[in-house]
A and B are shown apart, each in its own frame.
Chain A
């Protein structure tokens, strides 16, 4: 009998029959171990290099003994304090000379355009949110910022042109 004649419309994966016995045996052992119905393999497929666990203790000992070795600093504490004291003395001297030379201004003496020039060249260094936090918004009117006077008609025309369903805004009735 030609076996292929009857099955010509059916296809099977390559190597299906080669691995069939192993898969069947795996299935049987799974049934025996009570994992019936589970499609999950019990092993994860990871392996370790040969002799890895035997050498682990030695590797750890090397790392621990390295950590225990004391490092003697080239700079002793005494030298460090002497250098620090010298640097501090020089700084105090230089700053002292600079401060006595500098002219002292009071806050009142600074002109308004000095502030403007400073902010123009340095920037405020504040984000818009930070500015909004310090400006008393309650005391402001919209006309303080905008020169154009907005009347109701202008606002309604704008909304009519820019919002798809102006009627749905329910400007008078609030639904909660």
Chain B
């Protein structure tokens, strides 16, 4: 795999930019897709947000200083894009973000790209009730199996804070599943 520094410098040069961008997309498309999908739930919306994320990366790579890892920087863009997508969508529908999350989970049963069983549906229902930060931490830790240090770089939160958030999220989810 190409080194991150080489990729970044190639992305910043006009002659190598196109080829390097293809490599970048191929390297990160799946990880970013699943990260976005677990926030916006629906495939078509995920596709839109993922494309917007990569275009933002392409346009702003010149501003990338290398203070954090390229991967964390892209994850941050993907997270912000997903959350602002949800906010815009709920604003358009004139409902709260929480109400919209419930609707989105409700739509999963009829979604052709969701083949989860009853317990997986319950899990999504439980995740939808979590506060935004806990939801992100839970998805990144539980499904994406990221290290706390990596999550900390993406969400700019201390490792201790993340551990507490994750612990709370798991407790709430387990309680929600037992109740319903």
Using a CB–CB distance below 8 Å, which chain A residues touch chain B? 38-41, 43-49, 52-53, 56-57, 59-60, 63-64, 67
Contact with A along B1-36 (1 / 0, CB 8 A): 000000000000000000001100110011001100
A57 pairs with B115, CB closer than 8 A: no
Complex Cα gap A46–B124 (Å): 11
B177 pairs with A47, CB closer than 8 A: no
A40 pairs with B174, CB closer than 8 A: yes
Q: How many A-B residue pairs have CB under 8 A?
A: 72
Q: Decide: A48 near B43, CB < 8 A? Known: A40-B123, A41-B119, A41-B120.
A: yes
A44 pairs with B123, CB closer than 8 A: yes
Q: Is the interface of B mostly helix, strand, loop or mixed?
A: helix
From A44, A47, A56, B143 is in contact (CB under 8 Å) with: A44
B29 pairs with A45, CB closer than 8 A: no
Task: Give chain A residues whose Cβ lies under 8 Å from the Cβ of B47.
Answer: 52
Using a CB–CB distance below 8 Å, which chain B residues touch chain A? 21-22, 25-26, 29-30, 33-34, 37-38, 41, 43, 47, 50-51, 54-55, 58, 113-117, 119-121, 123-124, 142-143, 170, 173-174, 177-178
Complex Cα gap A20–B28 (Å): 39
Task: Give chain A residues whose Cβ lies under 8 Å from the Cβ of B29.
Answer: 53, 56
Q: Decide: A47 near B113, CB < 8 A? Known: A40-B123, A53-B30, A64-B58.
A: yes
A49 pairs with B123, CB closer than 8 A: no
A63 pairs with B51, CB closer than 8 A: yes
From B115, B143, B174, A39 is in contact (CB under 8 Å) with: B174
B116 pairs with A44, CB closer than 8 A: yes
B116 pairs with A63, CB closer than 8 A: no
From A40, A48, A56, A64, B173 is in contact (CB under 8 Å) with: A40
Given contacts A45-B115, A57-B22, 7 further A-B contacts (CB under 8 A): A40-B123, A41-B119, A41-B120, A47-B114, A49-B113, A52-B43, A53-B29
Question: Nearest Cβ distance between residue B3 and chain A, in whole angstroms?
Answer: 21
Task: Give chain B residues whose Cβ lies under 8 Å from the Cβ of A57.
Answer: 22, 25-26
Complex Cα gap A52–B50 (Å): 12
Task: Give chain B residues whose Cβ lies under 8 Å from the Cβ of A41.
Answer: 116-117, 119-120, 123
Task: Give chain A residues whose Cβ lies under 8 Å from the Cβ of B121.
Answer: 45
Task: Give chain A residues whose Cβ lies under 8 Å from the Cβ of B119.
Answer: 39, 41
Task: Give chain A residues whose Cβ lies under 8 Å from the Cβ of B170.
Answer: 40
